[in-house]
Amino acid sequence: MANTPQSKKRARQSEARFVVNKARRSRIRTFIRKVEEAIASGDKDAAVAALRAAQPEMARGVSKGVLHKNTVSRKISRLSSRVKAVGAAA
pLDDT beyond 80 at 88: no
* Model pLDDT for residues 6-65, shown as the tens digit of each residue: 999 999 999 999 999 999 999 999 999 999 999 999 999 999 999 999 999 999 999 999
Per-residue pLDDT, 19:
97
**Stretch 60-81: mean pLDDT:** 97
| Residue 89: pLDDT band with limits 50, 70, 90 | low
Write the DSSP string, 10-71: HHHHHHHHHHHHHHHHHHHHHHHHHHHHHHHHT-HHHHHHHHHHHHHHHHHHHHTTSS-HHH
Domain count, the chain: 1
Whichever domain contains 80, its CATH number is: 1.20.58.110
- Residue range(s) defining the domain that contains residue 85: 5-89
